[in-house]
Amino acid sequence: MNKDFIIGKLKLIRHSGLGAPLLIMLLLSMLVLPLPAFVLDLLFTFNITLSLIILLVVVYTAKPLDFAIFPTVILVATLLRLGLNVASTRIVLLRGHEGGDAAGKVIEAFGEFVIGGNFAVGLVVFTILVIINFVVVTKGAGRVSEVSARFTLDAMPGKQMAIDADLNSGLISQDEARARRAEIALEADFYGSMDGASKFVRGDAIAGILILFINVIGGLIIGMTQHQLSLADASHHYVLLTIGDGLVAQIPALLLSTASAVIVTRVTSSSLDIGQQFSAQLFDNPKPLAVSAGAVGLLGLIPGMPNLPFLLLAGGLGAAAYSIQKRRAALADFAAEKIIPAVQTETVDLSWEDVMPVDMIGLEVGYRLIPLVDKGQGGQLMSRIKGIRKKLSQEFGFLVPSVHIRDNLDLAPNAYQISLMGVTVGASEVHPDREMAINPGQVFGNLQGIAGKDPAFGLEAVWIAEEQKDHAQTLGYTVVDPSTVIATHMSQLIQRHSHELFGHEEAQHLLETLAKAAPKLAEGLVPKVVPLPVFVKVMQNLLKEHIPVRDIRSIAETLAEYGPRSQDPGTLTAAVRVALGRLITQKINGVTTEIEVITLDHELERLLHKTLESAGENAAVIEPGLAEQMHKSLEESSQTLEARGNPAILLVSSLLRPWMARFVRPSISTLHVLAYNEVPENCQIKVVASVGQRQA
């Protein structure tokens, strides 16, 4: 009954939020109220247990952020220990002349058993503990906390840019991006708090030294003046109890300082705890163990050396090295059996099944990149490609085909190539054991590594070791792993060739989707008004100029209206573009209603109109010098607009738009060509440059 009553009260305290106020009241009571020796023993035992629990929690924590409340725990544990110091000082000075267990069994045990009742030995042991705690552990942990806090804050912009890059390329969703941003903010708060919390630990170590000297001096004065003890008796009673009290406080302080040092020196890139990291990183390679075994064995053979311990240790190291090497060879054989297919011993006749169909999207990798696509080895590339397909499918308005991944021994070990319809459209090399630091245009230093270029955007980059990641982000680089490099490259190529991925199957699926939402519209469209090949060509024309086909209803209604008048895909595409004008303009210019544009001079536009009307859109040819000058002028005007942070838009008549789009697409890919009737009525046009015949 009493046990259930106590448990019920503890649950009531936890759920009512009274835990923290009660703890503060306990600390205050230890500072102002005398405590019985038995209660003091319980609190000292609790303090040692709490410090040990904190240290073990830190050791078995995979990441520092999993124990984000640690700075607050340091503060509470430090205040608890200081409160115990005050309470124990009071009872030592009040009852120390009685000797023995006057200050409790715990202090007596540390004064008698741990140091053998010799206060001189106790002083030496206490001094050594203080030096270890204050000079080595606490000072080092404080310095690491300070540097980690500064580097974490400096690296925040680079990490934010990496998250934005992953989000834009479809590698992560909005929720994942939000969670990663929150984790970055929490990481900055944690290391900032640890920088401040380390000062508490440092101050606690200094306070322990001062409290010891104050207690010794005060005890000697009280013993000799108030209790008429001799100097020897006063020293035996008070100094022994004071040293026992100091040892009881210093051992939890050392445990807490060690926990602080461990958590701030953790490498957060691993999901393993400390013990697993030691085993994986320190004892995974047999060569250091074998060389160490040889060196220790040679020392054991020297005459005069303690041969047996050295030879025993050398034998143990050699056995461990042999065991690790044997295990690695077994894993290598297993991997080889898994990757290399078995050789068929029987000869079978060929069939149509042996003719492999062409993959719409293919990815071939060299043998060193196989771990990137193997989930069993922790590869993330397949999941990221899946995220890209999902994002691009939502953006385009049709399902992007699956990516067929295979290894290719003819490629270089670090190389990969991306193909569409069996034709290679992109290839590059990545280093699976490094990360790519991309120069976004403005960085504040150089990095040591392998120079390269980002295959997706052509930016200068450096392949760096994983340990340099935080430093690179501090300098302003955007750091991505090899899987992200390949996935981003694939995303760019799919966007560039999206029109090639849209065929009759995709068109049929879109029409089936339309039939569910608007059955009458879909029923009378294909093939009654527009043949399926014409419908496919119109959709491909839109995708070729990066216009999504999500709004299939508006597209279908436009085709239903203009289909009876013309079956020309170009004419129908122009009509659909007008219907999607608001979508096109917003995709280029955002929600801003003012559009800054480049136009053609009236004389030049009339000349081009005349050329197109006489020769036709597909056969129109202009004088080479005029074409070169016009191209140069358009390029300069585009660069001027982009330098001001605005998209480059060329506004021409509806007759010229298709021809001008083909004219600028190969070399000025950032220039968007719009027709006058494609601009929504609520948008205001501001002409910032005019390309004329004389200027061109």
Q: What is the pLDDT of residue 333?
A: 64
Which superfamily is assigned to 357-499 in CATH?
Answer: FHIPEP family, domain 1 (3.40.30.60)
Cα 60 to Cα 16: distance, rounded to the nearest angstrom: 30
Cα 48 to Cα 253: distance, rounded to the nearest angstrom: 9
Tens-place pLDDT, residues 328-358: 777 666 555 555 454 444 455 667 766 767 8
Domain ranges of the chain: 1-32, 34-137+196-266, 357-499, 502-579, 587-696
Residue 269 or residue 146, greater confidence: 146
pTM of the model: 0.55
Q: Please answer whether residues 366 and 414 qualify as being in contact, where contact means their C-beta atoms are separated by less than 8 angstroms.
A: yes
Give the Å distances, CA to CA, from 300 to 68, 314, 444, 595.
48, 8, 53, 84
Contacts of 482 (CB under 8 A, 6+ apart): 369, 372, 430, 431, 432, 434, 435, 436
Quickly state the pLDDT bin for 493 (edges 50, 70, 90).
very high
Nearest to 578 by CA among 551, 558, 594: 558
Tens-place pLDDT, residues 247-290: 777 777 777 777 777 777 765 545 555 556 556 555 666 777 77
Instruction: Give the H or E element holding residue 428.
Output: strand 423-429
Q: What is the pLDDT of residue 282?
A: 58
Cα 578 to Cα 676: distance, rounded to the nearest angstrom: 9
Q: Please answer whether residues 549 and 503 qualify as being in contact, where contact means their C-beta atoms are separated by less than 8 angstroms.
A: no
Q: Please answer whether residues 375 and 382 qualify as being in contact, where contact means their C-beta atoms are separated by less than 8 angstroms.
A: yes
Cα 435 to Cα 485: distance, rounded to the nearest angstrom: 9
Cis-peptide, bond into residue 527, ω within 30° of zero: yes
Cα 392 to Cα 399: distance, rounded to the nearest angstrom: 8
Cα 489 to Cα 614: distance, rounded to the nearest angstrom: 43
Cα 589 to Cα 268: distance, rounded to the nearest angstrom: 41
Tens-place pLDDT, residues 152-209: 676 677 777 777 777 766 667 777 778 878 887 777 777 777 777 777 777 777 777 7
Handedness of CA 20, 22, 26, 29 (dihedral sign): positive
Coil, helix or strand for 501?
A: helix
| Residue 521: Cβ-neighbour burial (10 angstroms; 0-12, 13-18, 19+) | middle
Q: Please answer whether residues 569 and 541 qualify as being in contact, where contact means their C-beta atoms are separated by less than 8 angstroms.
A: yes
Tens-place pLDDT, residues 45-71: 787 788 888 888 887 777 777 777 878
Q: What is the pLDDT of residue 110?
A: 66
- Residues in a beta bridge with 388: none
CATH pick for 587-696 out of 3.40.50.11900, 3.30.230.70, 1.10.3210.10, 3.40.50.12790 = 3.40.50.12790
- Percentage with pLDDT > 70 across the chain: 76
Cα 191 to Cα 146: distance, rounded to the nearest angstrom: 8
Which superfamily is assigned to 502-579 in CATH?
Answer: FHIPEP family, domain 3 (1.10.8.540)
**CB neighbours of residue 211 within 10 Å:** 19
Coil, helix or strand for 343?
A: coil
